[in-house]
Structure 1
């Protein structure tokens, strides 16, 4: 079993916040400070990111779900609310398929239940080629700023700088393996639709990674659906106070 690095704060209903691609658990620090007033909040580093080592060179979303289920069992994380950003949302849905009613609620934060289309798969392949040629640090420096809307990058410069530095904690092996896993993941809309528990979606109307049209096409599968106007892929920084409130309200309503 691979070692999962994580931090936690607070007591009560467990909430697991799963970071996205080129991110680490510490990205949720402001959310943790607020949510931990009412909940036990746990933020893992996915394998190959932050303090969690890569456990093998090739793996699937299903493999990561099994790993996290074992980690939750080991750390007495029972019936959690699981919310994931981007890649973290794909992991959340794989966990949902594996654990089903053993999850209390799930949330997708700038993520999708749909599989990659042909264009997105080609983009993943180009990213893998870039990583193999240029390495992880150069990739992080080029990739992360693009997640923020161009018209707000000057305003959000400090958040972007922090995100880039956190992205540099990723290993080359982890970045490549997760890019492959994202590319090859299956559609889990039916898994989401079949879940009887609460389901949260937070989408950005200017998100270049998860198009708003895709979010709207699966809106019916969520009990709680929010769109953030003029927001890109990083709503937790672009609309920090608003998104903290959305997540907190969702967790309070259903815990």
Structure 2
């Protein structure tokens, strides 16, 4: 069962959160965009209030669950935008549903698979989680998602992100660390999609390097670079990014 909240009416806009997050991260976006769209924010299985059964899952399985959830809730021809892991899920959904999606957007995410260094980091994450649990992991994982020179300024936002991350299940964190490690290259799937495609990248993003974003820039119809921004542009530059998303979605109609 997928827990979600929604606000507004009209064209469905599904916002998919990232690793160590939940649908709550999109509260501001839902509030601002609900005047224009039916904004729907699910908790992926294993995060927030959505259960997961076991500590293994693939992005393809998550996409199937989301497609069924959308059918049950009459979410047709949606625009889907995902942050980080949510972007990987969005691309898996794109492979599954194709032209059943009106448009897609990636927030600090990539169609490239993990390289060997990143795969090894995922393995270390799984080992750490099994040994130390959720709370110890998220308190060390979340702050570096923000640029070091803004962590004091954004301390309240960082603390809120940590508290939301603590709601993640241990099985969920282990499962998605493995799913991200094992995900496939979806650059061609992205290129072949004829609908509007948005990529928002941060020049200071430590999780998805700006070089990787620039390397796939030509696969997108809309590419936005946020200077001085890390992995959390929707928090670091929330007014600017919500306007980018609003304009992209309106143009996609």
Q: Which runs of 5+ in 2 are unaligned?
A: none
Give the C-alpha shift of residue 94 in structure 1. 0.1
Query: 18, 34, 49: which one pairs with 2:32?
Result: 34
- 2:93 is the alignment partner of 1:95: yes
Deviating beyond 3 angstroms after TM superposition, the runs of 4 or more aligned structure 1 residues are: none
- 2:190 is the alignment partner of 1:185: no
Give the C-alpha shift of residue 55 in structure 1. 3.0
Post-superposition Cα deviations, 1:156-180, rounded to whole Å, max 9, x if no partner, equal 0010000000000000000000000
TM-score w.r.t. length of structure 1:
0.99
What does 1:163-242 correspond to in 2, within 5 Å?
Answer: 163-242=161-240
- 2:3 is the alignment partner of 1:5: yes
Q: What secondary structure does 1:135 align onto?
A: helix
Post-superposition Cα deviations, 1:127-177, rounded to whole Å, max 9, x if no partner, equal 111101100111111100110000000000010000000000000000000
Give the C-alpha shift of residue 56 in structure 1. 3.4
Task: Provide the alpha-carbon RMSD of the alignment.
Answer: 0.5
Q: Which runs of 5+ in 1 are unaligned?
A: none
Post-superposition Cα deviations, 1:47-90, rounded to whole Å, max 9, x if no partner, equal 11000000333110000000000000000000000000000000
What does 1:50-199 correspond to in 2, within 5 Å?
Answer: 50-199=48-197
Which shifted more, 136-145 or 91-100? 136-145
Using the alignment, how far apart are the partners of 2:239 and 2:86 within structure 1? 21
Post-superposition Cα deviations, 1:199-251, rounded to whole Å, max 9, x if no partner, equal 00000000000000000000000000000000000000111100000000000
Q: What secondary structure does 1:133 align onto?
A: helix
Q: What secondary structure does 2:144 align onto?
A: helix
Using the alignment, how far apart are the partners of 2:19 and 2:7 within structure 1? 23
Using the alignment, how far apart are the partners of 1:156 and 1:162 within structure 2? 10
Post-superposition Cα deviations, 1:26-50, rounded to whole Å, max 9, x if no partner, equal 1000000111001000000001100
TM-score w.r.t. length of structure 2:
0.99
* Corresponding residue for residue 42 of structure 2: 44
